[in-house]
Every structure is written in C-alpha cells, then in structure tokens.
Chains A and B, each alone.
Chain A
C-alpha cells in the first residue's frame, strides 16, 4: 500500500544520516559563499512546498492549482507586519502568523470549494483564487504598495546560516506532519477519499472535514515558506509572490517523484532543483527552454513518478540496483 511508509529501520537510519549531514554541513563551509548551502536552502523550501501540495493533491486526490495563493499570503503577511514594526526580523511569531493566515484562507476557501467542487472544477477554482489575490495585491493601495511591491530593510540581514536552518526546520516539520498524518487514521481517510469518495463517505469518513484538513495543512507549510521568502528577498511584489511557478514547480516535483508517496516529493525536489540549477549554470540563456523540455519529457516517460519504479509497482531498471532494492524492501 502506498500510504504505509518507511516502517523499516534502514529507512530511519538513512533518514537520520542524511539529516545529520544537512545539520553539520553549514559548519564546515563558509555559508555566505557556498553554492551548495544556497542550493540546499532552495531545495528545502521546495521539499516543504511539494509535500504541502502532496497532502491534498497526492494523498487525497484534490488537485490544487492555488498554492501560490498561500505562498503569496505568507509573503505579504510577513512583509506588511514587518514594515509596520509589528514583528521583527526572522520573527518566529511572524512566520507562524503568516502560516495561520494561509490556514484561515485555506479553511474558508476549502469549505466553500471542496464541499461543492470535484476534480477539474476544484483545480480551476483554486487557480482563480490565486489570481484574485494577485489582483488584490496589485490594487491594495498603501497596504500592499501596489505593483511596485514592499521594500523591506535589507540591512537586517545577518547570515545565510539562519535561512538555511529555518528552511531545514520547515522541511523537517512538514515531513513530520505528513508522516504523522499519513500513519494515523487521517491518512487512511485521505487515501480512502482519493480512491473512492462515495465509498469512503458511505463508510463513515467525514469527507469534507478530511479534505479541508489536508488542504489547510498544506497551506500552513506553504505560508511558512512564503514568510521565509519575504525575509530572504527583502522585497515583495505581486508578480513575484503570486508567481505561478510557486504552484507548478512543487506539483512537478511531486509528480516526478511520485504523488501520494512520502519519499517521492523529496526525491523530486532534489532532482528537479538539481536539473534546474545545472541548466542555469551550463547554459544560462537556454535554461528556461531546457527546464520546460524536461517537464515534457518527465510527463512523457515517467507519468507515474519515480517511486513506482523504485518500490516495484512497476518493473524498471532502478529496481536492480542494490540501494533501491533496500529502499523498496523498507517502503
């Protein structure tokens, strides 16, 4: 079953070794100049965003195209509060508040949309939500500073190390949330809804409640990522905060790795970030073309995601490698 994950000891051991490496690494290099530190920082954010989408999109089957709405809300809440001096630089309270604002939005919209809409209609509705917020941010007058956006005091910057560890913490928090949710009765309910909503409802699963829970949990981590992004870029404008890349890239990562799996989005985030960065370094001019071609190739040749090939739902070359055999046995 896809919902049951990493029950074995090897999985945990590998996970802790990788995590330990990520914790120790920034102390070994100059974080201000290390390219890998920057790369990992971005990848951690993408891991969190991909998993955030995966909860509703992958496990529950409710494809949201509105993650940029939550990301943008996270950005703007942090930027507005910080500019008003209500919160400080890298303020945990501000970040949590940003996440909570995204959750409130997700619950309001989720109750409205998820009770009425299914499938493509829900996807379109969430896309509309993101675009409405985009327009509001442009027309927000003094609060959002219009299309020029909000400039934040960049002299507050201290060190890349902070960003790195906050991003890592958000990613780990997300993974814990996903793990706890999917291994409890909630996860069973989510998968039941994805597989057959009517049958799930007939068996007493409160369909709407669980859909909203998955949607809101995803929104929370996405809002956190948005908040951190505001602190990182020191400038928030409507085009950047509500960029459709913030919804499409995490979805692509999840599908590349395998939607509805625990390891899939992590794998997808690392691979795709790697490919994007590599393309950017080797051929900066052609980078967007290359990245787009990569999306087409992935959907063409790996529409079910890498995890299916690794864990043995599909026969593939990867399964013959000893490392993947070990992972396959554990998952």
Chain B
C-alpha cells in the first residue's frame, strides 16, 4: 500500500468513493429496473435527474426550504411524469423493437437538455444546504453530512424498491414480466400496465437521484449524460436487471474511480472506469456478483 501516504488517507479515499458510488447507485437502480422489465436502455435517465435538480434549485431559490423537502413533491410529480412518458411515447414505440426505443430515449435526452438550456440558461447552478460545510470526523477520516444523507437516501431507495419487488403483488408482477412477458400475460397480467408502473418508478428514482446530486455537485443542463453513462456502467457491474446489484455496482464504480483518481490522476479515472466496464462486459456479462445464467444475453 505504498501508493497511499497513510491508512487514514486510504480510508478517506475509500469513503469518498463509497459516497460517490451511492449517487451512481441511485441513478442505476432506476435504469436497472426499467431495463429488467422493458429491455430498454433509458439513456435519458441523467437528463431526467438534472430536471429534478432544477426543480429543487427553483424550490430552494423561491421558498428557501431545505432541498431535502423536495423529495416530498419530486417523487409523486416524477411518477406522474414517468407514467405520461410511458403511455404517451414508449408503449407505442416498444412495439417496433428495441432500436427505436433506444433512439427515442436518446431523442428525449437531447430534447430535455436543450429545453432546459433554453429555459434555465446553461449557467452552472448550485444548491446550498445548511450543512454544506459540516463534516463529522472519525479517526482522521471526515464524513461530509451532505454525503451521509445522500448515502442514506440511496440505501433507503434501494431497500424500498427491493421490498416493493419482493413483498407486493405488483412487485411480483414486475418480476414476472421481467422473466417472461408472454407467460405473465397468459397468467392474466397486463404487461403494458406493469411496464407503465416500472417505468414510473424508474423515473421517480431518477428524480430522487437528481435531488441527491444537486446538493453535492454544481450542475448545468448537459451534466446528466455523464451520469447516464456512469449509471450504465454501474448496472453492468451489478448485472443488467438486478436492483440490489445496481447499488453495489455503483459503489464499486465509485470506489474504483476514487482510487484511480488518487493513485494515477483524475484525468484517467474515467478511462479506468470504462476499461473495467468493457472487461466486465466481456468476461462477466452477468455482472461481477451476478449468478451465471449460462446464457449471454
């Protein structure tokens, strides 16, 4: 461990990576859920996140409430937004196949980015919280309070989605449709309805991720794409379609980036992340922790 000057430095880099990874994780859960059920790579996830970030920015600017109150309205509003997007756009295009769906998601991403740039301007925005500069120290390692809250939100969101999938009847339907759409339809489930619910939850999770992001990073309308890419990598690490894996994949990615930024330089962190992404895709397409299904997509 001669790369790190001390154990405390190593732990600090590790902790930073875990917190960064939690943010990737929240974005990735939604992506993973949507992919699992509808087989769509929803590349506009990041743009939706930034839309939520702008909502929070204006809420804070006009009401001076704490940004974390934003969860109260972001979740229902984005569930509705997702439902409208699915019934209005994706339900129709999904019938034509996967490529048009991917393109539609790309088109939506560009549309959202440019509308936001036109309406809100392309200036960087920041959202301040009360604890922006508060940090807790523990054995030489500091924990920023903002990031702790974000990590808690990430874990809570994952747990809620997990419980939803395992314990509720609707969640079981979502899993059934992910596994075999035809069989699920034969057993009386409506794949379109289940997909609509999944998609709405996915968009709401993007909203949650947006709230979590805006209190930590300054953002502009085009900031979301890199998050879409990172979320995709996290999803690939965890195994496409797995919800718990997505959060874990995000954390692995965050630690990987933070470690490589510290040891070989910030500019190369992205290259390391993408290289790991390619290696995982090639050698373990079921994800680092996924069980081998004996079938490669």
Nearest chain B residue, comparing its CB with the CB of A146: B267
Is A132 in contact with B274, judged by CB distance below 8 angstroms? yes
Is B281 in contact with A121, judged by CB distance below 8 angstroms? yes
Interchain CB contact (< 8 A) of A296 among B104, B118, B283? B104
Interchain CB contact (< 8 A) of A255 among B41, B103, B278, B285? B103
B79 at the interface (CB under 8 A from A): no
User: Chain A: interface secondary structure?
Assistant: helix
Interchain CB contact (< 8 A) of A303 among B93, B111, B229? B93
Q: How far is the CA of A248 from the CA of B115 in the complex (A)?
A: 19
Q: How far is the CA of A248 from the CA of B106 in the complex (A)?
A: 8
Interface residues in A63-103 (C-beta closer than 8 Å to B) = 63
B277 at the interface (CB under 8 A from A): yes
A252 at the interface (CB under 8 A from B): yes
B271 at the interface (CB under 8 A from A): yes
A277 at the interface (CB under 8 A from B): no
Known: A124-B41, A124-B232, A303-B96. A135 touches B267 (CB 8 A): yes
Q: How far is the CA of A118 from the CA of B282 in the complex (A)?
A: 10
Q: Produce 1/0 per residue, A162-183, CB < 8 A to B.
A: 0000000000000000000000
A128 at the interface (CB under 8 A from B): yes
Q: Produce 1/0 per residue, A289-316, CB < 8 A to B.
A: 1011101101110011000000000000
Q: How far is the CA of A139 from the CA of B264 in the complex (A)?
A: 12
Known: A120-B297, A131-B229, A139-B268. A299 touches B282 (CB 8 A): no
Contacts of B110 in A (CB 8 A): 288, 291-292, 295
Is A259 in contact with B99, judged by CB distance below 8 angstroms? yes
Contacts of B106 in A (CB 8 A): 248, 295
Q: How far is the CB of A242 from chain B (nearest CB, A)?
A: 12
Q: Produce 1/0 per residue, A246-266, CB < 8 A to B.
A: 001001100100010000000
Contacts of A295 in B (CB 8 A): 103-104, 106-107, 110-111
Q: Produce 1/0 per residue, A108-148, CB < 8 A to B.
A: 00001100111111011101110110011011000000000
Q: How far is the CA of A63 from the CA of B99 in the complex (A)?
A: 8
Nearest chain B residue, comparing its CB with the CB of A248: B106
Q: How far is the CA of A303 from the CA of B268 in the complex (A)?
A: 39
Contacts of B297 in A (CB 8 A): 117-121
Is B114 in contact with A303, judged by CB distance below 8 angstroms? no
19 A-B pairs whose Cβ atoms sit less than 8 Å apart in the complex: A117-B282, A119-B98, A120-B35, A120-B98, A123-B102, A124-B277, A128-B233, A131-B274, A132-B274, A135-B270, A248-B106, A259-B99, A289-B111, A291-B110, A295-B104, A295-B111, A296-B108, A299-B93, A304-B96
Task: Please give 17 more A-B residue pairs, beta carbons under 8 A apart, in addition to A116-B283, A135-B268.
Answer: A63-B99, A63-B102, A112-B282, A113-B278, A120-B35, A121-B285, A121-B297, A123-B102, A124-B236, A128-B275, A135-B270, A136-B271, A255-B100, A285-B118, A288-B117, A299-B101, A303-B97
A binding-site residues for B, Cβ under 8 Å = 57, 63, 112-113, 116-121, 123-125, 127-129, 131-132, 135-136, 138-139, 244, 248, 251-252, 255, 259, 285-286, 288-289, 291-293, 295-296, 298-300, 303-304
Q: Can you list the 10 inter-chain pairs with the closest CB atoms, starting with the nearest?
A: A295-B107, A303-B96, A292-B111, A303-B100, A292-B110, A135-B271, A288-B114, A299-B104, A296-B107, A132-B274
